[in-house]
Chains A and B, each alone.
Chain A
Amino acid sequence: MKIIVLAKQVPDTRNVGSNAMKEDGTINRAALPTVFNPEDLKALEMALQVKDKIEGTTVEVITMGPPRAEEIVRDARSRGADGGFVLSDARFAGSDTLATSYALSKAIESTEGYDMVFCGRQAIDGDTAQVGPQVAEKLGIPQITYAEALEHIDETKVVVRRRLEHGVETVEAQLPVLVTVTSAAADCRYPHAHRLLRYAKTPVDVKNADDVKPDFSRLGLAGSPTKVKKVDNVVLAHKESITIEPTDENLSEMMHSLIEEHII
């Protein structure tokens, strides 16, 4: 079985320093440490579980981003993935979820075929949860979103438990299928020391836009109907600080007012 995992390198929002934002309110990416998007890591684990169960399965990782996103491919390989590549090209710059999912679908089509595609439900920097479903749509394959666990897998079908807001739902799909994985799924296994050392030294393939033969009008800014009008930097000045007693009632009130004011 051939599996593709889509993964994204994202800013590590748990370790944001004081220089994380530039004066104009945009993100200072150079100052942010990066991590493997947490739900993508869980998607990788689900893919590796299939590899554990079905002999001969290969897991390839595709990540779209700047060249340093090769760290994601190395990390995935140290945990058990068989290969992968970075899709990197200045012509992808400014892509919204539509253009991104188009580029990723072309990257997937450029491989030697696939039976399953796994990706995280969403990335912690954008939180849209749109890319996975849009990729499935462009590939013309069924999708299962919010996957928590694989209940069954064989060469022709998969049974997946989905974690929804008010319960769980178990669904079956024929292969090929795209599965988006939520944070409720199992944590990814640790890297293996030997693989860690081995793949630190192995070059990572990089593909550019030409390699995946896209319709160039659907890439980057040109292919992105989403236009960012303005980015506001919410500055919480000290004078606005209030002190509340930590009771359940007060905390709930505070949460509501923060949501109402679109701060969170």
Chain B
Amino acid sequence: MNFYTDNDSLSFYLHHPEMSEIATLREHDFAEAGQHPEAPANADEAIEQYDSVMRLLGEIVADVVAPNAEAVDHEGPHIENGRVVYAKGTQQNLKTMIDAGLYGMTLERKYNGLNFPRVLAVMAGETIARADVGFATIWGLQDCADTIQQFASDELKEKYLPRIYGGATCSMDLTEPDAGSDLQSVRLRATYDEAASCWRLNGVKRFITNGDADLHLVLARSEEGSTDGRGLSYFVFDRADGGLTVRRIENKMGIKGSPTAELVFTNAPAYLVGERRLGLIKYVMSLMNAARLGVGSQSIGLCEAAYREAEAYAASRQQFGHPINQFVAVQDLLRAMRARTDAARSLMYETARMVDRSATSKPASRIADILTPLVKLMASEFSNRNAYDSIQVHGGSGFMKEYACERLYRDARVLSIYEGTSQLQVVAAIKGIANGAYLKRIEEYDQQVSNMVLSDQQTAVLGILRRATESYKQLYEKATSKGTSDVLFEHASRALTEVLAYTIMGYLLLIDSTRSERYLDSADYTAREALGEAVKAIAMIG
């Protein structure tokens, strides 16, 4: 078994036409070729490298992570002498990944990384999440390294980044008892200790995923007397330096393998990342975007797992003398699950490609910024719907603990909550709605498709997408009839966001279908969702 090679979509996006350009960007025109024994000499070689590492990762996920998932869900982590001890399966997963050199995929080579682009990070993420979302959270937090790589001083980079490759786990310590969605209210204090030439952290953090990690990025109030986000700075804290107590770990509904901890910092020594006062407004927002894309990848892994569980069950379960996948009612469920998985995935890879291109392109960076909340919103909501439908296909059996769909249902629930609830993703999308950035992007996709040779079926899908776009404009007119500051616009914002997301996903799948026909059905389904949601919203609003 191999979770990479058994999923054609992964190879499809790994070999996307834009990947050559992305590899070239990431490799700075292959400047390291010949200098470093692993550096590729051209784009084809780089993509071959991505493929070979994904094969390795896919094999480990299928052989080790997937078989451990059930026991990890039952056992969970516990506290021993003030430290979090992972479930045995989690420990084995981590060790296998570290021993295979897979940590630090996106780090530069000088920090022992593989220098892979973001597309590969999300691909690894979804592959792992298909097996175990809880483990995918622990794995995904290595994205903290990117914040250090991007913003910290050379001294801190050299100190911490090689340790990530060595398997040092990470956490992102933002939330406090009174500061969840509203991070401007963070109170944990950071004071400079002249004698020790470091900062000292004092206070409490709550709901911290992987809270007893080796390395922590901590958002803290460095400016005494300040009350808003501009008084917050970002710090890196090394668990080995002491000053941290794990007060408790939460008893959660799902992702039980991932420890969620309450932390007490007492004079904990820490070092400033980047500049003071930019903690929330710059660094956290940057990390947050990566984390939201990461949750997108977890969600898509879960969508895929839920679909596969349902598909396999429907093929084997006999009722009325036939396997139940021969009944239209079940086929409809499976088709919707397939379409959601395909749609969210296409949007995620498009976004990841934009993130990769952001390195040299402002427009790409702006597109990445507007697409990221859509990925987080739609993928996480879809994962919940797929998990629900997967149980539905299983019927009574799905309600029993024996089937994996029960765990998937619980694991999915947090995806539309953490790293910003679905409601906050809509808030993040509002600016792009009001300034027309999404519509402009849709026009660009439409332009791109207009230049392609389309089959009759593809042309029909394009027609539906254009109607959906027109309906969106009507919806927007209606929603803004009293101006964008009226509560009516706020009421309509979720529907506006979703219609845009469906339309964009429909266009992306239509473009994908020109490379592989197997995405055409999902393109058709998603386009109809876009139109249907728009028409429904027009009826509902006002």
Contacts and interface: CB of A to CB of B under 8 A. Distances in A.
Interface in B255-307: none
Contacts of A198: 37-38
Contact of A189 (B37, B48, B49, B99): B99
A197 B52 contact: yes
Contact of B53 (A189, A193, A201, A202): A193
B52 A196 contact: yes
B48 to A, nearest CB: 8
Nearest to A79: B100
B101 A193 contact: yes
Contacts of A196: 52-53, 56
Contacts of A202: 37
A190 B38 contact: no
Nearest to B165: A194
Contact of B96 (A190, A195, A197, A201): A190
A225 interface: no
B102 interface: yes
B101 A194 contact: yes
B49 A197 contact: yes
Interface string B36-55: 01100000000011001100
A193 B100 contact: yes
Contacts of B38: 194, 197-198, 201
Given A198-B37, A198-B38, A201-B37, A192 B49 contact: no
A200 interface: yes
A195 B100 CA distance: 9
B96 A194 contact: no
Contact of B114 (A189, A191, A197): A197
Interface string A176-202: 000000000000011111111110111
A194 B56 contact: no
Nearest to B36: A198
Nearest to B113: A194
Contacts of B53: 193, 196-197
B60 interface: yes
Contacts of B56: 190-191, 193, 196
A200 B49 contact: yes
B75 interface: no
B108 interface: no
Contacts of B100: 190-193
A200 B52 CA distance: 10
A195 B101 contact: yes
Contacts of B59: 190
A194 B100 CA distance: 8
Question: Which of B52, B53, B56, B101 is the most central at the interface, judged by chain A CB atoms within 10 Å of its CB?
Answer: B101
Nearest to B114: A193
A202 B102 CA distance: 21
Question: Which of A191, A193, A198 is the most central at the interface, judged by chain B CB atoms within 10 Å of its CB?
Answer: A193
Contacts, number: 40
Nearest to A199: B37
Contacts of B52: 196-197, 200
A198 B40 CA distance: 10
Contacts of B102: 193
B229 to A, nearest CB: 39
B233 to A, nearest CB: 35
Nearest to A197: B38
Nearest to A195: B101
A239 to B, nearest CB: 27
A196 B52 CA distance: 8
B37 A190 contact: no
Question: Which of B38, B48, B112 is the most central at the interface, judged by chain A CB atoms within 10 Å of its CB?
Answer: B38
A195 B99 CA distance: 12
Contacts of A190: 56, 59-60, 96, 99-100
A197 B60 CA distance: 17
Contacts of A191: 56, 100
A200 B112 CA distance: 18
Interface string A28-40: 0000000000000
Contact of B99 (A192, A197, A200, A201): A192
Contacts of B37: 198, 201-202
Nearest to A194: B101
Nearest to A187: B63
Nearest to B38: A197
A194 B99 contact: no
Interface in B229-269: none
Nearest to B41: A201
Contacts of B112: 194
A189 B96 CA distance: 9
A198 B39 CA distance: 8
B56 to A, nearest CB: 6
A33 to B, nearest CB: 11
B36 to A, nearest CB: 9
B95 to A, nearest CB: 11
A198 B96 CA distance: 20
Contacts of A192: 99-101
Contacts of B96: 190
A157 to B, nearest CB: 29
Contacts of A195: 101
Given A192-B99, A197-B52, 15 more contacts: A190-B59, A190-B60, A190-B99, A191-B56, A193-B100, A194-B112, A196-B52, A196-B53, A197-B49, A197-B114, A198-B38, A200-B52, A201-B37, A201-B38, A202-B37
Interface of B: 37-38, 48-49, 52-53, 56, 59-60, 96, 99-102, 105, 112, 114
12 contacts: A190-B59, A190-B60, A191-B100, A192-B99, A193-B101, A193-B102, A193-B114, A195-B101, A196-B53, A196-B56, A200-B52, A202-B37
Ranked 8 nearest A-B pairs via Cβ: A193-B101, A197-B38, A192-B101, A190-B100, A198-B37, A194-B101, A198-B38, A193-B53
